[in-house]
A and B are shown apart, each in its own frame.
Chain A
Amino acid sequence: MGTKTRAPPKSATEPAVVSRHLPDKTFVIDNGAYTLKAGYVSDLPPAEDEALSACSTIPNALAKTRDNRVVIGPQLLTHVSDWNEVMFRRPVEKGYIVNWEAQREIWEQSFFEEKATARNKSSRIANPEETTLILTEAPNAIPLLQRNADEIVMEEWGFGGYTRCIGPTLNAWNEVHTLFGDSTTPQPDAAPLPVDCLLVVDSGYSHTTVTPVYKGQALQRGIRRLDLGGKHLTNYLKEIVSIRQYNMVDETYIMNEVKEAVCFVSNDFSADMEQTSKAGRRRQAGSDKSVVVDYVLPDPNAGRKGFMRPHDPMLEAKKKKGALSGLSADVLSEDVLVLGNERFAVPEILFNPRDIGMKQAGIPDIILQSLSVLPTGLHPPFLANVLVVGGNSLTPGFIERLETELRQVASADCVVRVRRAQDPIRSTWLGGSRLAANREELGKVAITRQEYQEYGSGWTGRRFAGNV
């Protein structure tokens, strides 16, 4: 290890007496592996939609296109038209920021551009010294990586205030009572407070975590992780399609779009499987109940995007006849993936990891594993408040399946309620912005630049771990 900044003085156990002033502006970065969600917190706690308009979603990757251009972070939204064979380099591995060389470049492009433009207005940090940063991390991070993050944030950019917290816990600050249909007495003027008990299932790009959150803090012993996320689903779909149809192994981006368009979580796996295989045999499709669909692959030369449509079993035969069939040139030139049981067999691995040979339990079982190490008195409130966030929760049928299976395995005395956050991707960011609106609570968890300079990164790490 390199030189330490300053050894934390042993006597300095009461840093609170140092007159501290956190900058008024707060910037929240939910640094996901696939996208980073970032934006300023508005001064007044506004309505949810308004607050979210300040949050931009930026791809957290460096990409290399087919013509060997390197495209960084926010440019991916505008500068790429041909997504064939695009390769990605992601600074976040397994949910944690590992490569700061790449991450710094993406942050520089996203937040620290020299000139203010219309595009970067909401996400440009003009003066880090006058800004408090809330940075999220995945639970159970490796201490050295946490320390790296602290050092870079405070020494490279020098934020005036800073806190690093476990992403899923921030969701407890959101207004989830209406989501669960609980009646509450709304107090519009009061500073936001976290809900008492919330079990957050965060199914993201790298992994799926279950975090019991008690009054805004994680119950560390109950955090469990399934090492499957959106990346694995995309790769699995890619693999199946490559074996059965076209070779798509280099088309990560396109297969991700296919996944988002066609995949759903089955509520009756074996029945769906049976139905799909029968439909395939009888070649009778087109009926509403058929699972089989066609996905027309994008054609960058013609500037066409990919899209899904009902399966046409006669299409192949018609195409063979060529121009005689009376099909348009567009249809004749298009490439089509026929997707049957892949549509639900792929997301199924989140509920049955053993389908791909993994020795881990599915999400409902993991929730029980998480609860099993907590006092039984906490089981009812957690089971009644299961909030699902993360991109995978947008898969149709996900919530219903989770609720059904959780109902089956949970104690019959407990009410089981599973809800998806209104915007599952930016929900964590929104929670962070609501935490920031409560200045008092923010002051308890954040540190100032002076404190960092005085006590160093070792102290910072202990402080965020709640040990100082």
Chain B
Amino acid sequence: MFRVELLTDTKSTAQPGWAYVPDRGFDPAKAAMAPTLGRKRGIRDAGKGGDMTSRQNTAIVRHLAELDRENQRDVQIPVPVKQAKEAGARGTRAKTTSNVRRILQSQKTFRNHLDDEEAAISLGAAGVSGGGGGGGAAQSTGVGGMSGGAVQAKSGIASKGSKSSSVAQRKRPLAAGATTSASATPAPSVPETAETGTGADDEADDGESAPKPKLLKTEYDNDPLLRSYAPTAPSERLMQRLLAEPPLSYNASRAGPPALTAPPRHFCCMCGYWVA
């Protein structure tokens, strides 16, 4: 018997020009929009839950990539070569620096840059460029709507009573209430992060200084169950903290799937009809 041991590579490979990128199954360079599932998992999960086969998924991803194209055919459109006279005209300006030369010669596509960034984030480094702002471990927790957990949960507590009562009172479709509270529920894992602290002391802060919630004038004001309050404006401190947050990464800022899961309709482009 022999055994295979996977030696983890501890050496960081953040070298310019190349990076390890996640393997997404079929050629990701061709897919302008990242598929959500890998090829293998698509096949594995085909039987359970999802109503789409991996083949359909691949077809959709291909189609989206088609829609994302600039031209139908691949064409090379070179930048016209400058005439010697024109090129000489630049003599008045400073010499080209090495940075400029490197950037101008770079033929990287957006896809390459995105892969580099993803690799940098997964390495936990603060972005390839070290230019601040992007990347960083703090961001990897901030995927999608999750990062808002702390604040949302906090304000959710503050206005919980009023919210549920307004739902009952206004007879509006449950959807709105469901979406706002649903976004608070996936939070449980988040409070472990650094935001717990901010959330907690903000709450204390709000408790002292924030004005009382304003009562919305309705005919149900006398009923303690049905009266509804307008949410209070967040404190200036909280706003400053929110404004100081670093931007999410490109992938983290992509909008998520819709909250309501109505069955999707299918458009048959041959006959021009919609099939529910």
Contact = CB atoms under 8 A, between A and B. Distances in A.
9 contacts: A1-B129, A100-B106, A157-B93, A158-B93, A239-B269, A250-B73, A362-B258, A376-B231, A413-B166
A143 B67 contact: no
B148 A368 contact: no
Contact of B250 (A87, A142, A151, A462): A142
B239 interface: yes
B256 A252 contact: no
A356 B129 contact: no
A336 B98 CA distance: 54
B164 to A, nearest CB: 12
A360 B132 CA distance: 29
A359 B60 CA distance: 10
A422 interface: no
A374 B151 CA distance: 7
Interface of A: 1-3, 5, 62-64, 70, 72, 87-90, 93-94, 96, 98-102, 104-105, 114, 139-148, 151-152, 155-158, 210, 214, 217-227, 231-232, 235-236, 239-240, 243-244, 249-250, 252, 270, 273, 276-277, 340-341, 345, 354-362, 365-366, 368-369, 372-380, 408-413, 457-458, 461-462, 464-467
A361 B77 contact: no
B71 A252 contact: yes
Given A373-B151, A465-B133, A411 B233 contact: no
Interface stretch (B1-9, B20-28, B110-118): B110-118
Nearest to B86: A114
Contact of A232 (B67, B108, B131): B67
Interface string B62-74: 0110111111110
A413 B228 contact: yes
Closest 6 CB pairs of A and B: A373-B148, A465-B133, A461-B131, A357-B60, A372-B183, A462-B132
B194 interface: no
Interface in B76-103: 77-80, 89, 93-94, 96-103
A152, A155, A235, A379 pick with most chain B CB within 10 angstroms: A155
B152 A2 contact: no
B77 A231 contact: no
Contacts of A145: 113
Contacts of A235: 66-69
A386 to B, nearest CB: 16
Contacts of A90: 70
A5 B99 contact: yes
A252 B72 CA distance: 8
B103, B107, B238, B257 pick with most chain A CB within 10 angstroms: B103
A345 B234 CA distance: 41
A231 B233 CA distance: 39
Given A217-B243, A224-B253, A359-B36, A365 B258 contact: yes
B11 interface: no
Interface string B243-259: 11111111011111111
Given A139-B247, A361-B256, A373-B145, A98 B117 contact: no
B265 A143 contact: no
Given A94-B110, A465-B132, A143 B99 contact: no
A375 B238 contact: yes
B171 to A, nearest CB: 9
Nearest to A348: B267
Interface string B211-241: 0000010000000000010111110001100
Contact of A62 (B79, B96, B100, B106): B79
A372 B152 contact: yes
Given A143-B135, A221-B242, A462-B131, A277 B273 contact: yes
B76 to A, nearest CB: 8
Chain B contact residues, majority secondary structure: loop
Interface of B: 16, 33, 36, 56, 60, 63-64, 66-73, 75, 77-80, 89, 93-94, 96-110, 113-114, 116-117, 127-135, 142, 145, 147-148, 151-152, 154-156, 158-159, 163, 166, 170, 172-173, 175-177, 179-180, 183-184, 216, 228, 230-234, 238-239, 242-250, 252-260, 264-265, 267, 269-270, 272-274
A100 B147 CA distance: 34
Given A148-B103, A231-B70, A377-B232, 19 more contacts: A100-B106, A102-B79, A140-B249, A143-B117, A144-B117, A155-B97, A158-B94, A217-B243, A224-B255, A231-B68, A232-B67, A365-B258, A369-B145, A369-B183, A374-B152, A376-B155, A378-B233, A412-B176, A413-B230
A204 B208 CA distance: 44
Contacts of B269: 239-240, 243-244
Contacts of B68: 227, 231-232, 235
Nearest to A467: B132
A59 B139 CA distance: 35
A63 B71 CA distance: 11
A87, A219, A221, A461 pick with most chain B CB within 10 angstroms: A221
Contacts of B238: 375
B243 A379 contact: no
A243 B66 CA distance: 14
Contacts of B130: 458
Given A225-B254, A341-B272, A462-B132, A377 B234 contact: yes
A465 B77 contact: no
